[in-house]
Structure 1
Amino acid sequence: MRSLRRHPKLVLVMLCAAAVLAARSTAADGEYGGEYGDGPAADAGLSTRVARLYEDAAVATRRYEAGRRAAQAAQGRARKQEELLGRERRELAGLRDDLGRIARAQYRDGGGVPLAAQILLADGPDELMRGQHAFSRANVALDHAIGTSRRAAARLAAAEGRAKAAWKAVERRRTELAGVKKDIEDKLEQARWELQGRADASVAAGACRGAVRLDQPERDSSQAWVAPVETYTLSAGFGRDGTRWANRHTGQDFAVPIGTPVRAVGAGRVVRVSCGGSFGIGIVLRHDDGYYTQYAHLAAVAVDQGDSVTPGQWIGQSGTSGNSTGPHLHFEARVTPEAGSAVDPVKWLAQRGVTLG
């Protein structure tokens, strides 16, 4: 191998390249866009998996609820069937009573007397014919009653069998759906805390792990403003006193599970993505009307600084990073991008047609 000392220019080029790589590595460890550990590709995979599990859980929940409604409908049908079966049972009991009455009437009317004896005991041919005619009618009535009773008993047995089979099928389906739903929710819970663990590591290092690109859902383009999360419970409100804040609470908290998709409330541009501090992982947007919104305590971000966003676009996933006592989204509306300029976000959204509750 030739000595590098014979090629001083080559040595200089290699040293410059090494310096550039080192500078890039140092820059990547700053406030935004850092990579470490198992890398952003793994982060993207985990965030995507959480988002998909949310969708799967929603589908499973809808199917389970449909199964539950089907079970309730089946219960209603079963109750009606029970009413019908009750009537059938009463009719069958009545038919059996009729059979008893016919049998007793035949016995009283000589239905059990041999024909030769009837001829001997009859006062004449007319009386004998009348007796035979009455006996024939009684036999027809008896045969009809027996046939009706048998058909009613068969209908009753068939109806009871159908009711039991239908109920078992509904219960089996509901049990299957409940199992699928629980399995997805268990996987989602595990993935949520894995996502939060990576977020906590980012905050501890003070280095964001970079944006993950989530598959965006279909959005209603007619909505200029939306709530920052789709399903939520409002918790701590603006201006609230408490030991958890230096002065008063500066935003509105939305209690949501870890990994819940967080939406841009309106069109704008990403002016800051940061990690560390009391807000943990957070995003600040500047909107077209000059106001700013902040989304804090996130577990992951799905936008880069400088990106344009549209109303309802998923910009991150909720978490419990930073100074947080549990999973939630801290949302602020501000006059400037800096803390300390917040306005009441509930009223701010209401002025834009978004009512929280």
Structure 2
Amino acid sequence: MRFTRRHPLLAALLLCALAVLAARPTDGDGHAPGHGSASGVSAEVARLYEEAAEATERYEAARHEAGKQRARAQRLEARLDRERQAMAGLRKDLGRIASSQYRDGGGLPLTAHMILADDPEEMMRGQRAVWQAEVALDQAIGRSERAEARLARDEARAAAAWKRLERRNAELAALKQGIERKLETARWKLQGQADASVAAGACRGAVRLDQPRTRYSVDWVAPVETYVLSASYGSGGARWANRHTGQDFAVPIGTPVRAVGAGEVVKVSCGGAFGIEIVLRHAGGYYTQYAHLAAVAVDQGERVETGQWIGQSGTSGNSTGPHLHFEVRVTPEMGSAVNPVSWLAGRGVSL
């Protein structure tokens, strides 16, 4: 009886809980901010980014091995050509000797030659020369035949290895292209989510990335690992009110962005001209800004280490294409920037 009296109350509580859950804000794919698809796309981009780098490395290594195999085959062929030329020369020499013998009565037995010769000893020396030439030719022919058989085996092995390498290269190239196609699709999906966040003026929250464990022996690093420098500090441009206040790194969407040094996250913002941006405070009163991101991997107030992934590059905000805008400031706000290239160079990082 006690249970039946409480049952309507329990049912009411469950209905209220379900209503609260149903009313929680969600992102465009029906997931709570900072979870679900946003996290999945960021993680997928980071994973595919690493897989593409590994596939490229394997592909280049295979191409290098194929080049070495080709060089070995060419050396074998050159050696055979030299041996064939040497054998042809010996055969010519023997032919000349045989022709001379024939003209001098080479059809007679050796005893008759000795009886008829004016100088039997000279005749014997000539005969020994012929024998020596024949022996030398026989030896040369034997060596050449063995070398040719050995070369044929080597060439067969080299041809089989070459075919395997070519087949492996084709497989690696297809794998690399497939990963890059998937990565490109995932990158623009991630950028679409970033644009939605900027338009709403609200960040989705930190998406924790599975960063490979790397121990840095230095205190400072570049903000991205592989890059092309584009707009530099102090340069002019129609998109800036005065001068460019940072250094741009041209990198694809989704490229992991690293903290240049240990510090604290003092700002994570998702609106305005800088799009999605992060500002770190470092020892000595300096601040670094990372702007136009596609995603963030840290929260405000968090401590970060040198080289730690803090976000992924993009083209959010006032941006004409995928890149990272990197600034060094003496305050957390814009207007206090210093030249980031010389600042990093003073800390042992050459761009």
Please indicate the TM-score interval, normalised by the length of the shorter structure.
0.7 to 0.9
Tell me how far apart the structure 1 counterparts of residues 331 and 15 of structure 2 sit (CA, whole Å): 44
Deviation at 1:316, TM superposition (A): 0.6
What is the identity, as a one-letter code, of the residue corresponding to 1:149? I
Percentage identity across paired residues of the two chains: 59
| CA contact 1:54–1:188 (8 Å) conserved in 2 | yes
Match of 2:59 in 1: 64
The alpha-carbon distance between structure 1 residues 161 and 16, as it changes in their structure 2 partners (threshold 3 A), is: closer
Name which of 18, 38, 43 aligns with 2:38. 43
Report matched runs for 1:114-125 at 5 Å. 123=115
Tell me how far apart the structure 1 counterparts of residues 28 and 61 of structure 2 sit (CA, whole Å): 45
| CA contact 2:262–2:306 (8 Å) conserved in 1 | yes
Match of 2:232 in 1: 237
Deviation at 1:105, TM superposition (A): 4.3
The alpha-carbon distance between structure 1 residues 149 and 247, as it changes in their structure 2 partners (threshold 3 A), is: same
Deviation at 1:311, TM superposition (A): 0.9
What is the identity, as a one-letter code, of the residue corresponding to 1:200? D
Match of 1:31 in 2: none
Match of 2:141 in 1: 149
Name which of 207, 219, 222 aligns with 1:224. 219
The alpha-carbon distance between structure 1 residues 233 and 128, as it changes in their structure 2 partners (threshold 3 A), is: closer
- Please give the secondary structure, in 1, of the residue aligned with 2:344: helix
Residues 93-121 of structure 1, C-alpha deviation per residue, up to 9 Å, x if partnerless? 113213423432453455545x6xx8789
Deviation at 1:201, TM superposition (A): 2.4
What is the identity, as a one-letter code, of the residue corresponding to 1:204? A
Deviation at 1:157, TM superposition (A): 5.0
What is the identity, as a one-letter code, of the residue corresponding to 1:315? I
Match of 2:346 in 1: 351
| CA contact 1:258–1:328 (8 Å) conserved in 2 | yes
Match of 1:162 in 2: 154
| CA contact 1:106–1:135 (8 Å) conserved in 2 | no
Match of 2:320 in 1: 325
Tell me how far apart the structure 1 counterparts of residues 216 and 133 of structure 2 sit (CA, whole Å): 76
Tell me how far apart the structure 1 counterparts of residues 122 and 327 of structure 2 sit (CA, whole Å): 102
Tell me how far apart the structure 2 counterparts of residues 155 and 320 of structure 1 sit (CA, whole Å): 63
Match of 1:275 in 2: 270
* Structure 1: runs of 5 or more not aligned: 29-33
After the TM superposition, list the runs of 4 or more consecutive aligned residues in structure 1 that deviate by more than 6 angstroms: 13-22, 118-122, 127-137
Report matched runs for 1:89-128 at 5 Å. 89-108=84-103, 110-113=105-108, 123=115
Tell me how far apart the structure 2 counterparts of residues 254 and 302 of structure 1 sit (CA, whole Å): 19
Report matched runs for 1:172-211 at 5 Å. 172=166, 173-211=168-206
Confirm whether residue 303 of structure 1 aligns to residue 298 of structure 2.
Answer: yes
| CA contact 1:299–1:319 (8 Å) conserved in 2 | yes
Report matched runs for 1:237-276 at 5 Å. 237-276=232-271
Tell me how far apart the structure 2 counterparts of residues 301 and 230 of structure 1 sit (CA, whole Å): 17
Deviation at 1:285, TM superposition (A): 1.6
Deviation at 1:134, TM superposition (A): 7.8
What is the identity, as a one-letter code, of the residue corresponding to 1:155? A
The alpha-carbon distance between structure 1 residues 134 and 210, as it changes in their structure 2 partners (threshold 3 A), is: same
**TM-score in terms of structure 1 length:** 0.79
Deviation at 1:297, TM superposition (A): 0.9
RMSD: 3.7
Deviation at 1:270, TM superposition (A): 1.5
Deviates more, 1:76-85 or 1:251-260: 76-85
Deviation at 1:80, TM superposition (A): 3.2
How many residues are paired up?
A: 341
